[in-house]
Structure 1
């Protein structure tokens, strides 16, 4: 809300893309970066996207901090270090594609005009056994990844 009482509106982000479209964009655009917004616990125990086949690295910047899950107050500052050009693509990835939406919106509001959410995230949706990583997401689509 502004000082005069009118409602302010957040800018939306550039859009949602599939994991394969994300890989293709990272491959075709040398300025595109991947930011994994999960927590250090998730990176260590679940794994990370491996961009070494593209001669790139995954930037790890938590949207929320483990263990209390509070929003990272340094997120935008850390993002600026990872992507110096606010007009170049930033692709956000989380576990299932929820936190990455919040990160993409925050990045857009900070001036990053090409902020994308990766649908399905790293692990994707729960399957019939309540397991992730088998139906949708980076791992299930057999994109390159490494154990953290």
Structure 2
């Protein structure tokens, strides 16, 4: 699994999309592994597909279900995958599950969408997708 900072991830996503599109291939699949409610109300990068690592009310990951859902959306296990979550922690587990399921090009966004907590327990103040000023949208 490749670990990309938010800025590196955005640049990689843009370059890979352009390159793969020129070759007639599917662009990387950008997956938000947060619960749907998090993705919709907190905000998310444009073009991201929401496939939760776990969902309310169980809050229990099901690696087999997750990998199958990503494979359905990706159309196979060879398509490059970029994972994002709130802080970059869930994507490590989700990425490991995808690699164990046979995915060959898994990447994750270090620090995620909101980044680490600061000394006042606030996010988006130290690092992360939003902190870096990268494109995002909110419902």
Fold conserved (TM > 0.5)? yes
Larger Rg: 1
1:60 aligns with one of 40, 50, 55 = 50
1 or 2, which has the higher strand percentage? Answer: 1
Moved over 6 A (4+): none
CA RMSD of aligned residues (A): 1.4
The whole-number CA distance in structure 2 between the counterparts of 1:18 and 1:88 is: 20
Write the distance in 2 (CA, Å) between the matches of 1:85 and 1:117.
18
In structure 1, what is the equivalent of residue 101 of structure 2? 110
Give the aligned length.
129
More helix by percentage: 2
Structure 1 unaligned regions, length at least 5: 1-13, 51-56
Cα distance in 2 for residues equivalent to 1:40 and 1:66:
9
Q: Which runs of 5+ in 2 are unaligned?
A: 18-26
Query: TM-score when scaled to structure 2?
Result: 0.86
What does the per-residue CA deviation read over 1:46-93, in whole Å, with 9 as the maximum and x for residues that have no partner?
Answer: 11112xxxxxx2110000111321114521121012212422321111
Conservation of the 8 A alpha-carbon contact between 1:33 and 1:90: yes
Aligned to 2:113: 122
2:36 pairs with one of 34, 40, 63: 40
